[in-house]
Amino acid sequence: MMETHNNSGIRDRQPLSNARLGILILLGAETMLFSGLIGTFLVFRVGNVTWPPPSHIGIELPRAVTGINTALLLLSGYTMFQARRAIQKDLVKQLHKWLLLTGVLGLLFLGIQGSEWGQLIGKGLTLQSGVYGGIFYVLIGCHAVHVLSAVIWLFIVFGMALKGRFSAARYVGVDTCTIYWIFVVALWPILYVLVYLF
Amino acid sequence: MHDNEHSSHHEESFISKYIFSLDHKMIGKQFLIYGLIMLFVGGGLALLFRWQLAYPERPLPIIGASPQYLEEGEVVTGADRMWERIYESEQEEWLEVNMPNGVVEPAFYNMLFTMHATIMVFFVVVPILVGAFGNFLIPLMIGTRDMAFPILNMLSFWLAVLAAIVMTIGFFVPGGHAAAGWTGYAPLSSDPQWTGVDWGQNLWAISLLIQGFSSLVGSINYITTIINMRAPGMTFFRLPLVIWSLFIVAILLLLAFPVLSSALALLIFDRLAGTTFFTATAEGGGDPLLWQHLFWFFGHPEVYILILPGMGIASELVAVFSRKPIFGYRSMVYAMIAIAFLGWIVWGHHMFQSGMRPGLGSVFMTTTMLIAVPSAIKTFNWLGTMFRGSIRFTAPMLHAIAFVSMFVIGGLSGIYMANTPVDIFIHDTYYIVAHIHYVVFGGSLFAMFGGIIFWFPKMYGRHMNDVLSKIHFWLTFIAFNCTFFPMHILGVGGHMRRISNPMQYEFLQQFEGMNIFITMSAFTLGFAQLILVFNFFWSMYRGKVAEKNPWHVNTLEWEAPTPVPHGNFGQIPTVYRGPYEYSVPGEESDWIPQADPEHAPATSGD
């Protein structure tokens, strides 16, 4: 029997490592989760002639601030991409810088969104305000939970990077986090347009 | 060579070997035992409500109070003493609330049929067919040492256990367990005032969310493993059909379950946080129909999740025991892909009665009937495989033949139901109950029994007892048909499902005898399964010791030594041919293993 008949021989043929493939498959499930919630939103949005419903007149979603927030999150997608490029070139210091910047942008996004939520609740838009308030908080909140978990993941990767775990030859940990981060970032403009502008 | 360190013998503690095992074979066996335990829980619930349907408002046998006790308060039997003690105690006992004197209360009846279906679908068929067979077979049949993510694999099992525990707790909370049907239709499920169920329904939703995580982790593992870790030479079109079916099912689970998760999350918000997603209110409320759309958008792919692995297992068994190549291997694969795809665009056929534009109904009717085409392709291919084969009527083969036959009955009744006008007549009757059981019991469970007997020698190194297996098969087959076939007649006669006492309707009183017959058959069916369990555990220790490849099968799992060691193969095999080269003309032996480099050049698969 030849040496190539073992599993390491197979690994050379894989276009994607198990971890990268696994995270891409996870995104399929995430997409369907959000499809369910976005579908629910659309049923309510299209099913109501006036949106927001008459009982919510006077409540305006913070379009402008959230627009700026959208830009911040998109920027974090760029910085995350730069982090990945840095480690591909074995620039570990650059990796640290870009990861930290991405994490700060993510936290900033969450902070701004949190303060906006606080103001909306103060104006009387709560989870119990019919389906308008309900689906707003559930859909946007579901995304926020994903951003939060992405930020936590990112800081774990950052901690591993500080310990020198990554190099140009070995950066699966950065890669998987990047894939997830890009998904969370790319999802947001869709939600912004649907929920805030549509 | 670094691979050998995996297969080298090293002692493991009891806990890491049997409890928190990372080995795919042990996790597969854990799922199997888990599923078998839940099979008896789910079946037991069914027997309780079958008794009520046959003898409405009469005490159950054994635990029910005697007539003397009911009429005169005279304690005659042990059960009477138990009830006496329950009534004398200060606090409200569980039995007293749910079945006073051993009579099933209507509210308890609702809980029974809800939990019967929930447990059978989410805790028996999926854990066994996908969890047990998937875990055990995928690495062995594609020729690798373990799953891509062994830790996630273990997590998948223990999440399923957690889900089962949460689901079981639901039986004992005040207000009882979920009682809105396994489909949990809103507003029954979304507002406690309609069923009187409070935390039961919450725990139902939470448990299914946990089960969703378990499925998610499991399906990521399956898909990654099958794509990335196949042995050299194991091309996609050399994969055994059971692996193809599990691959397709993993994709369906991956994509379908999150939709249910989103619906369950909305349901939990409705119940606990005061939202009104599934309740129409004057002030910007939601829509009960939305639940049905979300549920069935998950639910119909789920139906194929339940049957596709059965199709895969049956394909293996039919080819092996007919000693013939599977007829139309590629068409079998494409048919499964077609079924999986069509499964996404037929969910509306569950909702013809819920209110739907007739035009839209016709669309769903058409897409549903299209599924008959790939299903028929598969059926004819199974028949074509058996045609003029040297059929060996072993116990697994009997189960496979039963699978094909019962699937045809269940599939044909499905075509009737797909017709909107017919469906409006038989909707919510026992005809539907007959159909689902012909597919899920007659289909999935027969394939499961066949698969257990077939792979038992590889799992435990011993054969299951053949005589007991055959007695179990014939009893199950006959009792199954006696139980579920008459339900077609009940359904056409207008017998509604989900009613605790049919005798209160004059037009259903003619069916009393048939209901009693069904119940007797159901009890026989239930007790026949004890033979399987006895055989299973007895054979584990006392069965005839199995050789490496007792059935003379081509696929890779039989290349591994028995019992299969940690790491599965000494040397990862190389695959030279398709999985079904049986009775190749001009060959001396009637089977050529996939890893056999000699003999005739590859004919099928490539």
Q: Which residues contact B347 (CB under 8 A, 6 or more apart)?
A: B293, B296, B297, B299, B300, B364
| Most B-contacting residue of A10, A20, A45, A128 (CB-CB within 10 A), to test interface | A10
Contact B274 A127 (CB under 8 A): yes
Return the pLDDT at A1: 33
Q: Where are the beta strands (DSSP E) in A83-186?
A: none
Report the 3 state secondary structure along B87-137. HHCCCCCHHHHHCHHHCCCHHHHHHHHHHHHHHHHHHHHHHHHHHHHHHHH
Contact B224 A26 (CB under 8 A): no
Return the pLDDT at B601: 59
The answer to whether residue B580 sits within a structural domain is no
| Residue B527 CB coordination number (10 Å) | 13
A49 and chain B in contact, CB less than 8 A: no
Q: Which residues contact B376 (CB under 8 A, 6 or more apart)?
A: none
Give rounded-to-5 percent helix, strand, coil for chain A. Answer: 80, 0, 20
Residues from chain A that touch B234, judged by Cβ atoms under 8 A, are none
Q: Phi, psi at residue B239, to the nearest 5°?
A: -70, 140
Return the pLDDT at A2: 36
Q: CB-based burial of residue B80 (10 Å sphere; 0-12 exposed, 13-18 middle, 19+ buried)?
A: buried
Query: What DSSP element (H or E) covers A178?
Result: helix A172-191
Angstrom CA distances, A35 to A131, A142, A191, B259, stand at 17, 12, 11, 7
pTM: predicted TM-score of the whole model, two decimal places: 0.94
The answer to whether residue B86 sits within a structural domain is no
Write the ipTM.
0.92
Search chain B and give the residue with CA nearest A134.
B275
How far is the C-alpha of B334 from the C-alpha of B580, rounded, in Å?
Answer: 17
Return the pLDDT at A13: 57
Return the pLDDT at B599: 67
Return the pLDDT at B19: 83
How far is the C-alpha of B184 from the C-alpha of B177, rounded, in Å?
Answer: 12
| Most A-contacting residue of B572, B574, B576, B594 (CB-CB within 10 A), to test interface | B572
CB-nearest to A10 from B229, B261, B275 is: B229
Return the pLDDT at B358: 83
The answer to whether residue B66 sits within a structural domain is no
Residue B476: give its domain's CATH number: 1.20.210.10
Q: CB-based burial of residue B294 (10 Å sphere; 0-12 exposed, 13-18 middle, 19+ buried)?
A: buried
Count of A-B CB contacts under 8 Å: 137
Fold classification of A34-39+63-197 (topology level): Four Helix Bundle (Hemerythrin (Met), subunit A) (1.20.120)
| Counted domains in chain B | 1
Contact A29 B224 (CB under 8 A): no
Instruction: Answer yes or no: are the C-beta atoms of B21 and B566 closer than 8 Å.
Output: no
Q: pLDDT digit string (tens) for A77-132?
A: 999 999 999 999 999 999 999 999 999 999 999 999 999 999 999 988 999 888 99
CB-nearest to A21 from B224, B261, B263 is: B224
Return the pLDDT at B93: 84
Instruction: Answer yes or no: are the C-beta atoms of B254 and A25 closer than 8 Å.
Output: yes
Contact A35 B228 (CB under 8 A): no
CB-nearest to A7 from B3, B216, B290 is: B3
Return the pLDDT at B196: 87
The answer to whether residue B349 sits within a structural domain is yes
Contact A32 B216 (CB under 8 A): no
Return the pLDDT at A54: 80
Domain boundaries, chain A: 34-39+63-197
A167 and chain B in contact, CB less than 8 A: no
B340 CA: distance to closest CA in chain A (Å): 16
Residues from chain A that touch B265, judged by Cβ atoms under 8 A, are 138, 142
Search chain B and give the residue with CA nearest A20.
B224
Residues from chain B that touch A138, judged by Cβ atoms under 8 A, are 265-266, 269, 275
> Which residues of chain A register pLDDT less than 70?
1-14
Mean pLDDT (10-residue bins), chain B, 606 residues: 44 78 94 96 96 94 89 89 88 86 93 96 97 97 95 96 96 92 93 89 97 97 96 95 98 97 96 91 84 95 96 97 96 97 94 86 93 96 96 97 96 92 92 96 96 96 96 97 97 94 94 97 96 96 94 95 90 93 89 84 51
| Most A-contacting residue of B145, B151, B220, B252 (CB-CB within 10 A), to test interface | B220
Maximum Cα–Cα distance across chain A: 77
Return the pLDDT at B249: 97
A3 and chain B in contact, CB less than 8 A: yes
The candidate with the shortest Cα–Cα distance to B371, out of B412, B400, B401, B409, is B412
Contact B284 A22 (CB under 8 A): no
A44 and chain B in contact, CB less than 8 A: yes
Contact B216 A47 (CB under 8 A): no
Residues from chain A that touch B255, judged by Cβ atoms under 8 A, are 28-29, 32
The answer to whether residue B487 sits within a structural domain is yes
Q: Which two tokens stand for residue B51?
A: 């008794």
How far is the C-alpha of B58 from the C-alpha of B70, rounded, in Å?
Answer: 10
The candidate with the shortest Cα–Cα distance to B269, out of A138, A113, A198, A22, is A138
CB-nearest to B220 from A26, A36, A39 is: A26
A124 and chain B in contact, CB less than 8 A: no
A59 and chain B in contact, CB less than 8 A: no
The candidate with the shortest Cα–Cα distance to B433, out of B480, B488, B514, B479, is B488
Q: Domain limits at B435?
A: 17-58+103-559
The answer to whether residue B94 sits within a structural domain is no
| Most A-contacting residue of B209, B267, B271, B275 (CB-CB within 10 A), to test interface | B275
